[in-house]
Chains A and B, each alone.
Chain A
Amino acid sequence: MGWFSGSGRPSAPEPKAPEEHRSLALPQLLRGLRPESHPSLLDLGMAVGSNLEFLAAYSCRVRIADLYRSLQAEPPESREPDVFPALLPRLLPLEPSESFDVLLAWDLFNYLRRDQTTALMTWLAPACTERTIVFALISTLPQIPGVPLRFRIVDDQHLAWGGLSRTTRPSPRFTQPDLRKMAPGFRVRNSYILRSGIQEYLLERGTQKSVATAVPVARSARGLVVR
């Protein structure tokens, strides 16, 4: 199995020091987590031990999918557009009763084609409730690192990222309308454009009605707040 092919070899050292930014979406996301309800999180990114420790304070049950690396471990022909939906039951199997309160997509959408993101969100939709929140980071820069970053929750307001690759690739620079099309059944609850070149999104289940009227309402020291 491809997933096990790279085992036993520690990952290469990172070429650059980690960056950090003040997140505007993260506090809102965490505010909705109630430890007494033992929330369930699906982390589509790779395993980050410190995130696990942080989320333990919220009594979260965390499932880590490491979807990008799982996809990369598949044979090249399996990355064809029509194949990805068929791969999802194996890459990200879901129990019939499984549901998530939070989906941590991080910057994964930057590295998937539109049809792949649509297939992914369609696959995950049955495991989402009306209260499920999707946390996504979309690059607004022309170039992005060659592979998804490893994001670490520093505290309830700051994210650090590491795992920068030595290569870059063109950024799809998805817009809010793009995201709406790519994630059918979800609407943008909050969007924050940060100076770091990242646009933070909180998506929730529902129609797009309220999004059409979204307007900038505040400007913070670090970015434009759009509600």
Chain B
Amino acid sequence: MWNKREEEQLNTGRPAAAVQPPPPADARHEAATGAGAAIGPSISIVGELTGDEDLTILGKVEGTISLPKHSVTIGRTAKVTADIRAKTVSVEGEVRGNLQAAEQILIRRTATMLGNLAAPRVGLEDGCRFKGSVDMESVAPGGRPASETAAKPAEAPSAKPIAASPERLPLKQDPLAARS
């Protein structure tokens, strides 16, 4: 009833094709490469976090996190209660708060996420625990938002809904991949 590709897609949730997953959070990796800052698993911070480099969180953070030009990675051991604004956000641990990313958000399979997500690309890996809303602007193959490519009712009052029209929106095409 299904081919191997589809089975693999179901098991993986197909996030990889749409959202580029960053490597798993690893404080040693970060320390060795010097790529960004890390908040270790024994560290607790309450307040407002801002900065100009990538951030990996493995400890506890409460407050707000704002790194609009950089990536934020919530490691598997992290417990974060904060709204986060960044270029990209990857969640492997626990987050309670709203996430807003300029590029993408990835909720990995180990994550427990309670909050709303807003980004052009959002990936949820199967197995993750997520409760909240997801808002992402859809972009049609032409590069414009799907809402702009849809025919106006006045142009085609008796036409079938655009969403169901495969010539307008190829449903088997990965909508996220179309943007990249």
User: Cβ of A155: which chain B residues have Cβ within 8 Å of it?
Assistant: 171-172
Q: Are B13 and A50 in contact (CB under 8 A)?
A: yes
Smallest distance from the beta carbon of B8 to chain A beta carbons, Å?
A: 11
Q: Once the chains are docked, how many angstroms separate the CA of A36 from the CA of B166?
A: 16
**How many B residues touch the partner, as a band?**
35 or more
Q: Are A152 and B10 in contact (CB under 8 A)?
A: yes
Q: Residue B1 at the A interface, CB < 8 A? A: yes
Q: Are A27 and B164 in contact (CB under 8 A)?
A: yes
Known A64-B132, A66-B131; contact A58-B138, beta-carbon cutoff 8 A: yes
Q: Once the chains are docked, how many angstroms separate the CA of A63 from the CA of B130?
A: 10
Q: Residue A115 at the B interface, CB < 8 A? A: no
Known A34-B162, A35-B150, A64-B132; contact A11-B127, beta-carbon cutoff 8 A: yes
Q: Are A18 and B10 in contact (CB under 8 A)?
A: yes
User: Cβ of A32: which chain B residues have Cβ within 8 Å of it?
Assistant: 161
Smallest distance from the beta carbon of B158 to chain A beta carbons, Å?
A: 14
Q: Are A9 and B14 in contact (CB under 8 A)?
A: no
Q: Are B133 and A53 in contact (CB under 8 A)?
A: no
Q: Are A31 and B161 in contact (CB under 8 A)?
A: yes
Q: Once the chains are docked, how many angstroms separate the CA of A7 from the CA of B77?
A: 10
Q: Are A35 and B169 in contact (CB under 8 A)?
A: yes
User: Cβ of A48: which chain B residues have Cβ within 8 Å of it?
Assistant: 13, 124, 126
Q: Residue B40 at the A interface, CB < 8 A? A: no
Q: Taking CB as reference atom, which chain A residue is nearest B133?
A: A63
User: Cβ of B77: which chain A residues have Cβ within 8 Å of it?
Assistant: 8
Q: Once the chains are docked, how many angstroms separate the CA of A58 from the CA of B137?
A: 9
Q: Are A59 and B138 in contact (CB under 8 A)?
A: yes
Q: Are A3 and B14 in contact (CB under 8 A)?
A: no
Q: Residue A82 at the B interface, CB < 8 A? A: no
Residue from B9, B161, B175 in contact with A56 in the complex, judged by beta carbons closer than 8 Å: B175
Q: Once the chains are docked, how many angstroms separate the CA of A216 from the CA of B131?
A: 39
User: Cβ of B9: which chain A residues have Cβ within 8 Å of it?
Assistant: 50
Interface residues of A in 11-31 (CB under 8 A from B): 11, 14, 17-20, 27, 30-31
Q: Are A34 and B145 in contact (CB under 8 A)?
A: no
Q: Are B126 and A49 in contact (CB under 8 A)?
A: yes
Q: Residue A52 at the B interface, CB < 8 A? A: yes
Residue from A18, A34, A64 in contact with B150 in the complex, judged by beta carbons closer than 8 Å: A34
Question: Could you give 11 example pairs across A and B, Cβ below 8 Å?
Answer: A7-B111, A18-B7, A18-B10, A33-B161, A36-B162, A52-B122, A53-B174, A56-B136, A64-B131, A66-B131, A160-B2
Which A residues are closer than 8 A to B by beta carbons? 3-4, 6-11, 14, 17-20, 27, 30-36, 38, 46-50, 52-54, 56-59, 61-66, 69-70, 150, 152, 154-156, 160, 162
